[in-house]
Amino acid sequence: MSAPLLVELFCEELPPLALRRLGEAFAQGIADGLASRGLLEATSSVRPFASPRRLGALILDVKDKGADEPVEDKLMPRAVAFGADGRPTDALRKRLAKAGRAELADRADLASGPNRIEVRKEGNAEYAYLCRVALGQPLQRALQEALEAAIEALPIPKVMSYQLADGETTVRFVRPAHGLVALHGANGVDVSVLGLRAGRLVHGHRFQGAAGIELAHASEYEARLRSEGGVIAGFDERRDEIRRQLATAASATGASLGPEEARAALLDEVTALVEMPTVYAGGFEAEFLAVPPECLALTMRQNQKYFPLFDAHGRLANRFLMVSNMRLADPSNIVHGNERVVRPRLADARFFYETDRKTRLAERVPQLASIVYHHKLGTQLERVERLRRLAVQVQARLPRGDKGKPYADRAAFLAKADLVTLMVGEFPELQGVMGRYYAEADGEEKSVARAIEQHYWPRFAGDQLPTGDASVAVALADKLCTLAGLFGVGQHPTGDKDPFALRRNALGVVRILAEGGFDLSLAELIDEAFAVFPKGLLGDARGELEEFVVERVRGYLREKGYSANEVESVLSTNRTRLHELARQLQAVRAFAGLPESESLAAANKRVANILRQAAAKGESFANVGRAELREPAELALYDRLAEVSGSARPLFDRGDYEGYLKSFAVLKAPVDAFFDTIMVMTEDAAARRSRLALLADLRREMNRVADISKLAA
C-alpha cells in the first residue's frame, strides 16, 4: 500500500539564519533514506516544512513495505561444497547456517525454489551460489533508520546538549525537541528519536493557535495547521505571503520597498522568525532623514528587521514596514512599541554621522598605521601606500578622462580612511559609502568621492561596475593589490574556504576588464601589482595568480551561456586582453554555425596533433615558400591560404573577428584534398619539412582569433 508519509519534529525556536537549510536537509534526508531502502514509488515527491518551531516533511506515495529483492552470494568452489555423493559438505553447511539458510542443506532438491543453491561454471572452474530472496524492509524500520540518519546529517550551526525529563538521559540537537509526529496515511508509524515517541498530535501558534491538533491523516497536516493552528508551515509559502503583504502595504502608502537585492536576505530572515506573518506600518520623525539614507536603511534592516520605504523618486521615507508574529484587530500597541524602539537606533546613527563629520577624512589617514591589515603584509596605512602607487599606474593607462589629474592618487589615499569612523565601526557594510559622504562634506573633488565608494565595486555577482577613470583605477588597484599580496604570502583559497574573498576580488577584476572595454593586459596588471610591494616581501606567485583569475574567466563566460569548447578556443589564444573576449566568442559562435566549421575544426585538431608530434621528434619547420612545394594539392592549399590570408588580415586588424573567421570557410575543399592525397610525415625530409611548414602557416592564420581545433568533438 502506498500513502503520503508525514514526519514532524516540534522544537523550541530554531536558529533563523539556518532554518530554511535545516528544513530542506531534514525532508530530503528522510526521503533519500526511504528511497535507498526501496520504499518510494516512482511518483514520489517530497515537500519540506520549516517554521520557527518545527521541521517537517510530507512525502507522497510511500510504500508500507519495500519490495522483495533477489540476492546472489558466491559461496565456494563446487568441489568444496559437495562431496563425491553430491551431498553438501560440512563447509557448505556452515556457510548456509551463517547466511541463515541452514535448512537448505537438508533439502532433497537444492536447485529449486526462491531460496536455492546453484552451480555455475566460471572459466575452467565451477562455483556454488546461494540464490535467495531478501524480504523488503517494513516502513517502521526503514523510517526509524532514515530519521536517525537525517537528524545526524543535519547542517546544524551549533549543537545543544540537554537532558530529557528522566533527568538522566542527555541528547544532542540544534534545539530541545518536544514532539514527534509520524503518519503513513491514516496510520501512525511507531518510531522514536531524541527521546520522543511518534504520535499524531501537532501544535499551533504559541499564542494564537490550538495547543494540540490531532491529525486523522497525513494529508491534513498543512491545512489544519493553518486553519486551526495559525501556522503557515511551508517556508516558501510563508515567504510568499510576507512578500504579498509587504507589496500591498507599501502600495497603500504610495511607497516602494527599494531594490529587491537589498531586502532578499531580510525577507528570508523574517520568514524564519514568524509562523503566521502579519505586516504593519510604522514611522519615525522626518528630522532623522538628514542622516545618509544608507545608514538609516541598514540600521532598520539589520537591527530591527524592518523594511524601509522609499518614495516615488527612490528617496528614503520616514516610514517602514514590520512583520509581526501576531495578527490583531487593533495592532496599535505593536506599532507604537516598534516606533519607540527604532528611535534610539536612528538617534545612534545620527550621533555617529555628526561626530564623524567633525574630523576630515584626510586627517584620519594616519590612524590607519595602528590597524594591522595582515601580519605579513603590514598595516592598513602601508596597504594604502601600495594602493596609491598602483592606482596611479593604472589610471595612466586608461584611455579616457582624468588625464593629468591626480584623482586616482587622492582617492586611493582616502579610500580606507572611513575604516576608523564610528559609523563604519558600527556598520562595516557601509565601507566606501560613508567615505563618499564624508569626502563630499570635506569638499573633495566629485571624482575622488565617487571613487572612494566605487573602489569596492562590484561587491557581488551582478553588481554595478565602477564608472570614471579614477574609480576604475582604484577599484582595479585595490583588488589586484589584495590578490597579489595574499597570493604572494601563500594565502590561497582552499576548497570552499576563502576568508579574504579572493574569488570575489578576482571576478571583480574580470568583470571590470571584460565589460568595461579597457585595453589593459591582465598579465601586465598582475606584474605591476606584485611590483608595488617591497622587494623580497612576496614569493613569486604571478603564474598561480594569473591561472586563478583565468579560472574565474572560465566560470564567468560559462555563466554567460558559452560552451566549454567555445571558452577554451578563445582562452587558448587570449588569456589577458579580456575586453576582446566577447567579440572573439561571438565570432567563434558565428563560425561554428557555418556548414564548413565541423570539417575545418577537425582538420585543425589533426594539424595540431601532427605539429605537436613532429616538434616532439625534433622536426624543424618554418614558413614555407611556394617553390618548395611539388604536389598539386599542396600548391592549391598554399595558393588559397595566401589569397584568403591577404584579404582576412585587414579584417582582423580592425577587430572584425567574425568576418576574419568566416573568410577561412573557403579552405574546406583544399584542406580536405590535401589530407586525402598528401602524406605529411613522408620519408623525404625536404618534402616533410615543407608540408609541416605549410600546416604551421595554416594553423597560425586560422587561429589568430581562437583555436578552432578546440571546437572539434
Rounded to whole angstroms, the Cα distance separating 171 from 162 reads 6
With CA atoms as reference, report the closest residue to 515 among 561, 581, 430, 611.
581
Q: How confident is the model at residue 307 (pLDDT cuts 50, 70, 90)?
A: very high
CB of 514 within 8 A of CB of 394?
Answer: no
**Is the per-residue pLDDT at 333 higher than 60?**
yes
**Is the per-residue pLDDT at 403 higher than 70?**
no
Q: What CATH number belongs to 363-538?
A: 1.10.3210
The distance in angstroms from the start CA to the end CA of the chain is 49
C-alpha cell at 603: 582538420
**Is the per-residue pLDDT at 242 higher than 70?**
yes
Q: How confident is the model at residue 404 (pLDDT cuts 50, 70, 90)?
A: low
Q: What CATH number belongs to 583-711?
A: 1.10.730
Predicted local distance difference test score (pLDDT) of residue 283 = 97
With CA atoms as reference, report the closest residue to 58 among 220, 273, 193, 210.
220
CB of 451 within 8 A of CB of 434?
Answer: no
Predicted local distance difference test score (pLDDT) of residue 485 = 97
CB of 651 within 8 A of CB of 659?
Answer: yes
Q: How confident is the model at residue 454 (pLDDT cuts 50, 70, 90)?
A: very high
Q: How confident is the model at residue 10 (pLDDT cuts 50, 70, 90)?
A: very high
- 490's CB contacts (< 8 A; 6+ apart) are 539, 541
Residue range 520-554, pLDDT digits in tens: 999 999 999 999 999 999 999 999 999 999 999 99
Rounded to whole angstroms, the Cα distance separating 506 from 501 reads 9
Predicted local distance difference test score (pLDDT) of residue 402 = 57
Rounded to whole angstroms, the Cα distance separating 409 from 398 reads 14
Reported as type and span, the H/E element at residue 222 is helix 221-227
Mean pLDDT in residue range 205-226: 95
Average pLDDT score over the chain: 94
Predicted local distance difference test score (pLDDT) of residue 279 = 98
Residue range 614-660, pLDDT digits in tens: 999 988 887 778 888 999 999 999 999 999 999 999 999 999 999 99
* 201 vs 157: which has the higher pLDDT: 201
Predicted local distance difference test score (pLDDT) of residue 444 = 97
**Is the per-residue pLDDT at 405 higher than 90?**
no
- 137's CB contacts (< 8 A; 6+ apart) are 37, 38, 39, 65, 66
**Is the per-residue pLDDT at 571 higher than 80?**
yes
Listed in sequence order, the DSSP H helices in 517-595 are: 522-531, 542-559, 564-571, 581-592
Residue range 250-273, pLDDT digits in tens: 999 999 999 888 899 999 999 999
Q: How confident is the model at residue 70 (pLDDT cuts 50, 70, 90)?
A: confident
